[in-house]
Structure 1
Amino acid sequence: MSNHGLPSRDGVTPSCVSLPAGNWPTMADFFFERFPAISAQTWLERMAQGLMVDEFGVPVDAERPYQGHIRIYYYRALAQEVRIPFEESLLFQDEYLVVADKPHFLPVTPSGSYLQETLLVRLKKRLGIDCLVPLHRIDRETAGLVLFSKRPQDRNAYQDLFRRHQMRKHYEAIAPWRAEIAFPLTRKSRIVEGEPFFRQREIDGPPNSETEIDVIAVVGNKARYKLNPVTGKKHQLRVHMYALGLAIDNDRMYPPVLDTPGDDFNFPLQLLAKGIAFTDPITGQARAFESQLKLQNLSAA
């Protein structure tokens, strides 16, 4: 049992809502008003099944008077979740770390319309490690390496390596070849939230992102690129490649379109988190991992 009164269920930890001051008659009235996308019947069913508790482990039922300034924990559920028809691979595990190869289209953590179909929940259920936590993220559309911490006391030490840019990461991408661009090059720019919110864009101003880009191979009008992100802004590699006129193959967001098309499992984004290396802050060992996944054959790109 966790300190919030609810254990994980089927690999998913409870969601949390901090209740503000207010005059709602009951707890149920608050949830009905604040979360209109979820039916009142759904909230009532969760309460009746004992799936909502406060931070002290006391159940929340439909008649309980409203109380502000406390946290409520509950299980989120999806009526229907699309199965991602690709499997993750476990590359490494010791007492501190889990390293997995994430397939294209699979999110790292639960959000939006993804809950069970996430790398974190799949690994929790597969390995039986409820306290597993990802140390970083890669885009849902991107494939490749993701590192997880097994022990809560180690997480900050590992995450500090990312904050201090001491995780040496490299990616591979398939994109158009432009002979007029001299490689290797370094792209530095200021990336901010765009419109809609999930799409990023470059603006004038002091750079907050940096990527080193080189060419691995060229066949016809396509090339395989090596991308070394120095920083870790959202969609950084995709934004930088697009800004150079080298939009990554099968990217549904860059270049921007009015309506982002849905997933087509036949056309995965040609971006792969290929390698990561670092000095382990817990053991002092040199660590290096490489994805076993492959992008499409360049000759067929």
Structure 2
Amino acid sequence: MNQRVSPILPRNGVAPSFLQLPAGDWPDLLSFLVAHFAHIPPQVWLARLRDGEVFDQHGQPHRPDSPYPANRRIWYYREVPDEVPVPFAANVLYRDDCLLVADKPHFLACIPGGRHLRETLLGRLRSELDLPQLTPVHRLDRETAGVMLFCVNPAHRAAYQGLFQSRAVQKTYEAIAPWRDGLALPLTHRSRLQERDDCFLMHEVAGETNSETGIALIARHGALAHYRLSPLTGKKHQLRAHLAALGIPIVNDPWYPALLPDKDSADFSQPLQLLARSIAFTDPVTGAARCFESERQLDWVSRQDCGQP
């Protein structure tokens, strides 16, 4: 069997993790795992091996006394203790044999990573729809809600991802942010975005432009405004960084313009007011014109519709 192909199936929509073992003379596999994963208590790995939760390249479980298989790959299911459930549902807007379109809620990560394993959009869709080979075509930040595309058939994944690489997709977002007197709208904001040296955030620097966002006003209400955003490029955190640079940071943004301390992971009271409203493209598999729109509303817009201040 090809070592790159998982010999075990996803569990609850989450694909297994793997580790390529280096050359070495360890007395057994357990000794290596305890030393390599120093942040995990030894009894955790012992229990996993006893329960048959660590597998070889053929999908057979290792035992607590299994010898160290140098230069081989092992597979296991990663665990995140005390993962907080996200109490919001993701709606499926469209599905065929090639493509699935979901309407992601705020606070739900797209794919497993860090503190989020089971509580991800990909994991939920794979499990609930029995689509173990479902893969994302693009990404949205965990804090952002709205339209997201998934490929149902792995054979078509490159074709759909190519749409984004060639900028053949028209994306529209909406945001709630402060109103700024003197900011002439509509406008196109261009800058060079680069990741900061001290953290994962992006900031604008001198140099050749690599990001571009169209910004238009939908409505204003007092000190806040409802904006339409049209990104022509897809840099990391582009919309959040651009609006912050213009002095109108998106409401409830914990990262821009300043990185705030981590809040309680169970606090869902202040969602980032950013929504991936729509996405349009020509389907590279069927040739059909596609346009999908989120059914969600940002909090401030919902309040205005209800006549609330």
Offset of residue 207 of structure 1: 2.4
- For 2:41 and 2:48, the matched residues in 1 are separated by 11
Residue number in structure 1 paired with 2:199: 197
Kept in 1, the 8 Å contact 2:14–2:117? The answer is: yes
Q: Percent identity?
A: 48
The answer for the alignment partner of 1:30 in structure 2 is 32
Match of 2:236 in 1: 234
Contact 1:157 1:282 in 2 (8 A): yes
* Structure 2: runs of 5 or more not aligned: none
Amino acid at match of 2:258: P
| Inter-partner Cα distance in structure 2 for 1:24 and 1:233 | 44
Classify 1:271/1:258 alpha carbon distance in 2 versus 1 (closer, same or farther; 3 Å).
Answer: closer
Question: Aligned partner of 2:208: which letter?
Answer: P
Secondary structure of 2:299's partner? Answer: coil
Say whether residues 1:273 and 2:276 are aligned partners.
yes
**What is the CA deviation profile of residues 182-225 of structure 1, one whole-angstrom value per residue up to 9, with x for unaligned ones?**
12222222222226533222222222222121111122221111
Residue 299 (structure 2) aligns with:
296
Q: Which amino acid aligns with 2:280?
A: A
* Stretch of structure 1 that moved more, 283-292 or 211-220: 211-220
Residues 40-51 of structure 1 mapped to structure 2, 5 A cutoff: 40-51=42-53
The correspondence for 1:248, drawn from 247, 250, 253, is: 250
Distance (whole Å) between structure 1 residues aligned to residue 191 and residue 25 of structure 2:
47
Q: Matched residues in 1 for 2:220 and 2:226: separation?
A: 6
Structure-2 separation of matches of 1:20 and 1:182: 59
Aligned pairs (5 A) from 1:114-193: 114-193=116-195
Q: Which moved more, 1:283-292 or 1:198-207?
A: 198-207
Q: Shift of the alpha carbon at 1:245?
A: 0.3
Q: Please report how far the alpha carbon of residue 57 of structure 1 lies from its aligned counterpart in structure 2 after TM superposition.
A: 2.8
Letter of the 2:20 counterpart: S
Amino acid at match of 2:59: G
Query: Which residue is 1:99 aligned to?
Result: 101
1:258 is displaced (CA, Å) by 5.5
SS in 2 for 1:297: helix
- Aligned to 1:158, what secondary structure does the other structure show? helix
**Aligned counterpart in structure 2 of residue 223 of structure 1, from 197, 222, 225:** 225
Residue 254 of structure 2 aligns to which amino acid in structure 1? R
TM-aligned CA deviation for residue 232 of structure 1: 1.6
Q: TM-score, normalised by structure 2?
A: 0.91
Cα distance in 2 between the residues matched to 1:34 and 1:234: 32
Give CA-to-partner distance per residue, 1:116-172, whole Å, 9 cap, x none.
Answer: 211111111211111111111101111101111110100000001111111111100
Paired residue type of 1:93: R
Pick one of 66, 72, 92 that aligns with 2:74: 72
Change (3 A) 1:154 1:179: same
CA distance in 1 between counterparts of 2:179 and 2:168 reads 30
Partner amino acid for 1:280? D
One-letter code aligned to 1:216 = I
Alignment: residue pair count: 301
How far apart are 1:243 and its partner, in Å? 0.4
C-alpha contact (below 8 Å) 2:254/2:260 kept by paired residues:
no
Given that 1:101 and 1:291 are in contact with CA atoms closer than 8 Å, whether structure 2 keeps it comes out as yes
Give the corresponding residue for 1:19.
21
Using the TM superposition, name which of 28-37 and 75-84 deviates more: 28-37
Q: For residues 150 and 203 of structure 2, what CA distance do their matches in structure 1 show?
A: 29
TM-score when normalising by structure 1: 0.93
Letter in 1 for 2:292: F
Looking at structure 1, the residues matched to 184 and 30 of structure 2 have their Cα atoms a distance apart, in angstroms, of 62
Cα 1:153/1:257, change in 2 over 3 Å? closer
Q: Shift in Å at residue 18 of structure 1?
A: 1.8
